[in-house]
Structure 1
């Protein structure tokens, strides 16, 4: 074997050992992990290692079991010690993606992912908006001070500045309710006016300043009182337009440290796409790219990291991922 690749997905990989394991999160994590493992097992002259929460069925191949919370660090480091390169899929919230990626880099292992500067920016919705806006890219306005939020009509959302997707997001009626919710949530949260349009996302493959747009997806949003959750993803449901391809290129240029799979959530408005957030790692929708377009995402990421090679844009056929909305923790 010429190389060993560590495929790490936080939920299935033992990141929640010692804590409740929500089945829907485990399912999403398993979809992403198994997509990367399938890609990895097809790479010539390569070995794959991963970690697995002992409460879950182990994946095929070399999977190191994480038996409890105290064992996580040692198991992660044991997998890392075998690897020449590693791809990390973890939430940005609480600095998790940053910390785990930094451990890969500190071990002298090639990180198949975004650099520290880009992770720092993309892990904050407010900083992402500032950087993209300075590059002339349309973004959602945001406010971290309840007293400065303008008196705009309609619904608002309050959410963690470092949250992923709909995690911790509340939808409230009116600016005053948003101000109250923002004060109650405390530091590290932002408020944004609700914007009309269709919730969409893009899967990019980035190579330090450049990007290939892999798919444009529809997000099916479910409302349960004040809570907003993602019910399903229609991967490749939208034909990529020149405006979408231009947006992908401009995002990569604005954040030149982006590398490998990157997700972009945006709202499609009558005036064009408005960026909500950037996920500086593989998103759930990317697990369908192999079936939608035939792309080996891990092989493409290795090529992007090695010499900046990006795959040609391909037309993705539509695939639907239904996400379990009714968790019972295990």
Structure 2
């Protein structure tokens, strides 16, 4: 089928200029750069694809071995969202990458949808649900999927020797604390905090491709490098494909998650804890994740082609939000 999406705007929140009028978060920069490098590299490996990349011009310009990547700078003093809309007007489709924190992913996806361009993103309802760890846990549990019992901070949590406290809409390991005495703990800043029992096991993730009908292809079974220290977790990257021996056990889980959350489409990542009695879901990320980095190398084929095909405007109803309604 002919691909009508030739000019792709890649807009990653941290490196793409969203924070051009404030400090850059160094703790997210490595992950942001890894996702941008992997995605842009895969896109320009496809014949006929030209990429425009939104870029905070305070950062060193990335180097790509292609003349089909154009930087679209966003500078301090400018309105990043106005610049993004201008960039979108130059392209056929937009591929946004943003954290769920403070509704950022949902906001950015809606902003680009309002430009009339094809947006490579999950449906707004799916993004909203998955952006809340409390709502996600409740939805998955209602569908019989093993997940961590999750309650708002201040509510009586499940009995446990130790608990984990984190923002309800947090990203990665940021502000994720291991607490021995939950009754004496106080949040370091305001926000919607949640409490979960500390579940022991191996930190892992799924990389999956979901189509408009809810069909699932499990792309990668990954191990996460997560450390503990000083009462908190720290994230040190993903070993893509390191858990392939668990594929048979995890494929039914991937299908069940897609069925439980209508509106997931394209690349979706799932964080989980693998235990002897089976996997326990931590969260669902309705967006590109660090697990995408190196995925094409492990697979031996280019997943960007298949993801774009789901949103190709020449495919009947592909990628429309109503596809899961």
Q: Distance in 1 between matches of 2:153 and 2:229?
A: 26
Q: Mark the runs of 5 or more structure 2 residues left unpaired by the alignment.
A: 319-325
- What is residue 272 of structure 1 aligned with on the other side? 278
Q: Indicate the SS of the match to 2:150.
A: coil
Q: Distance in 2 between matches of 1:215 and 1:300?
A: 14
Shift of 1:170: 0.7
Name the CA shift for 1:76/1:184 in 2 (closer, same or farther; >3 Å): closer
Choose the corresponding residue for 1:218, options 223, 235, 238. Answer: 223
TM-score (norm 1): 0.87
The question of whether the paired residues in 2 share the 8 Å contact of 1:158 and 1:190 is answered with: yes
Q: Distance in 1 between matches of 2:47 and 2:239?
A: 32
Choose the corresponding residue for 2:50, options 47, 56, 59. Answer: 47
Shift of 1:211: 1.4
Q: Distance in 2 between matches of 1:261 and 1:147?
A: 34
Superposition pairs of residues 146-161 of structure 1, within 5 angstroms = 146-150=154-158, 152-161=159-168
Q: Distance in 2 between matches of 1:202 and 1:64?
A: 32
The question of whether the paired residues in 2 share the 8 Å contact of 1:207 and 1:305 is answered with: no
The answer to which of 88-97 and 38-47 deviates more is 38-47
Q: Indicate the SS of the match to 1:236.
A: coil
- What is residue 112 of structure 1 aligned with on the other side? 120
Q: Indicate the SS of the match to 2:184.
A: helix
Q: Distance in 1 between matches of 2:301 and 2:223?
A: 20
Q: Distance in 1 between matches of 2:229 and 2:109?
A: 34
Shift of 1:187: 4.7
Superposition pairs of residues 1-330 of structure 1, within 5 angstroms = 3-59=6-62, 60=64, 61-68=69-76, 70-150=78-158, 152-173=159-180, 177-181=181-185, 187-208=191-212, 209-239=214-244, 240-306=246-312, 307=315
Q: Distance in 2 between matches of 1:147 and 1:261?
A: 34
Q: Mark the runs of 5 or more structure 1 residues left unpaired by the alignment.
A: 311-330
Output one character per residue of 1:38-93: Cα deviation in whole Å (capped at 9) or x when no partner: 12212233321111111112235211111115331222111111121111110000
Q: Distance in 1 between matches of 2:190 and 2:19?
A: 25
The question of whether the paired residues in 1 share the 8 Å contact of 2:18 and 2:81 is answered with: no
Output one character per residue of 1:264-311: Cα deviation in whole Å (capped at 9) or x when no partner: 000111210110100110001211101211232321111122349x9x
The question of whether the paired residues in 2 share the 8 Å contact of 1:204 and 1:212 is answered with: yes
- What is residue 316 of structure 1 aligned with on the other side? none
Q: Which runs of 4 or more aligned residues in structure 1 lie more than 6 Å from their structure 2 counterparts after TM superposition? A: none
More helix by share: 1
Name the CA shift for 1:127/1:182 in 2 (closer, same or farther; >3 Å): farther
The question of whether the paired residues in 1 share the 8 Å contact of 2:153 and 2:193 is answered with: no
Alignment: residue pair count: 305
The question of whether the paired residues in 1 share the 8 Å contact of 2:20 and 2:74 is answered with: yes
The question of whether the paired residues in 1 share the 8 Å contact of 2:202 and 2:274 is answered with: yes
Output one character per residue of 1:145-196: Cα deviation in whole Å (capped at 9) or x when no partner: 524224x2311110000001212111111xxx22333666555110000011
The answer to which of 11-20 and 282-291 deviates more is 11-20
Q: Distance in 1 between matches of 2:191 and 2:71?
A: 39
Q: Distance in 2 between matches of 1:36 and 1:50?
A: 11
